[in-house]
Structure 1
Amino acid sequence: MTQQDDSLWQHRLSDFRDAVAREPMPGCGATAVVSADLGLALVLKGLNLSQQHDASASRQALIEEGESLKTRLSPLAEEDVAAFEAFMAAVGRDREDDGRTRAIHEAADTAVEVPLKTAHLCDAALALAHQARDNIERQFMSDAIAGARLIHAALHGVLLNVEANAGRLGSDAARDRALHARQGLAQRADAVLATITTGALPQA
């Protein structure tokens, strides 16, 4: 976790767990990011250890793509916390405040944008796991499959925030676009995971 300078990635794992259990934030979005990041790390583990045994250019390209995804995914944990706090601050404004409704709509935009961004990166991470399957040695496949399942669960988890906040967007059209994107991402993730896990662990 040393790649991050922000506070969540400096927590001890037990401190992060306890904060999730007891405090308003970090919530399911940030937890989903951490889960997806760990899932991607398991896929990369399979690739890296296989590469040590039998180096190939195709496997190295997948490793580099995975590292890039990890770098882009990790900061979204803090972005999710910030988006949720801004949204709650907007909702908590005085109901007589003329700017309250606009503030809620603007905060909802971010509260939907961040989980959708997270889900898109999870989608890319699942696609990477699918590509990686033929480039990972059998003894590391259980780690990679576990990683893919974590990424899949994280994607579905973060999409709950899209569903929860889409109704606060400024227009029906914006809400419908967000929910359509949520549905497409969920369906694609299910299909990709099914492909990854089908016959994933052949017997020796």
Structure 2
Amino acid sequence: MLMDMKVTDFLAELGSSSPAPGGGSISALAGALGGALAAMVCRLTVGNDKYAEVQSEVAAIRDQADQIVKELAGCVDADTEAFNQVMAAYKLPKATESDKAERSKAIQQAMRHATELPLGVATSCLKILSMAVRALAIGNSNAASDAAVAGLMAHAGLHGALYNVKINLSSIKDQDIQKDIQAKVAALVKEDEGLHKQLLEIAGKVIG
């Protein structure tokens, strides 16, 4: 399990010639790191009398962030597993027409999973970005830079995940599935643009 490795060992594995873990796993990790940072900012806000008016909202953000961090952490390994499934499908026999049909079906199933998984990661990263923006706006000002970094990590994780969606989407033959996912990608990008702009604007005011 990648998430059970020491950071130094993880980095060594990442930098090796093995194609997995790769960008998909790192995108999920970036989102998880952003979520954990956002949760930290919330914990530095909850219980502080200076922020009494936002205690309930910040506590809710903390709890939601904690849950999404767990989900994204699971996706770090799941993305690598999805890649391995695609590779396994391509290695299936193709000696007969029946073999070819089964292989093609397996490849399509594996590619769809490898596309939908990072799409879910991107969706989760967007939620983290939204929470980071709010934490930056109302949270402990002493941790403002942490909230800003949380948002940037989520922003990076989202776009990294979408690159993986796009590169895998081209291998899916079902046009209806392609169009549906493309529409979801466009919606995520549009919402991310607005939140990222807010993050930078608030950070500029609060941090300088």
TM-score by length of 1: 0.90
Matching residue within 170, 189, 206 for 1:186? 189
Deviation sequence 1:79-103 (CA, Å, 0-9, x none): 1111110011112333433211111
Aligned to 1:4: none
Q: Point out 4+ residue stretches in structure 1 off by more than 4 angstroms.
A: none
Distance 1:93 1:20 in 2: 27
Aligned to 1:66: 65
Distance 2:4 2:38 in 1: 23
Whether the 8 Å CA contact 2:133–2:147 is kept in 1: the answer is no
Deviation sequence 1:67-86 (CA, Å, 0-9, x none): 12112221111111111100
Distance 1:203 1:182 in 2: 31
Aligned to 1:15: 9
Number of corresponding residues: 198
Give 5+ residue unaligned stretches, structure 2: none
| Matching of residue 165 in structure 1 with residue 168 in structure 2 | yes
Whether the 8 Å CA contact 2:129–2:155 is kept in 1: the answer is yes
Q: CA deviation at 1:177?
A: 1.5
Deviation sequence 1:83-127 (CA, Å, 0-9, x none): 110011112333433211111111111001110111111111112
Q: CA deviation at 1:52?
A: 4.1
Give 5+ residue unaligned stretches, structure 1: 1-6
Q: CA deviation at 1:203?
A: 5.8
1:155 partner amino acid = L
Q: After superposing the two structures, state which structure 1 stretch, 171-180 or 46-55, moved more.
A: 46-55
Q: Percent identity?
A: 25
For residues 203 and 193 of structure 1, do their structure 2 counterparts lie closer, same or farther at Cα, with a shift above 3 Å needed? closer
Matching residue within 4, 28, 43 for 2:23? 28
1:141 partner amino acid = A
More helix by proportion, 1 or 2? Answer: 2
Distance 2:56 2:165 in 1: 38
CA RMSD in angstroms, aligned pairs only = 1.7
Aligned to 1:57: 56
Aligned to 2:112: 109
1:35 partner amino acid = A
Residues 38-187 of structure 1 aligned to structure 2 (within 5 Å):
38-54=33-49, 56-96=55-95, 97-98=99-100, 99-187=102-190
Distance 1:53 1:15 in 2: 38
Residue 26 of structure 1 aligns to a residue whose secondary structure is coil
1:198 partner amino acid = E
For residues 194 and 203 of structure 1, do their structure 2 counterparts lie closer, same or farther at Cα, with a shift above 3 Å needed? closer
Whether the 8 Å CA contact 2:35–2:69 is kept in 1: the answer is yes
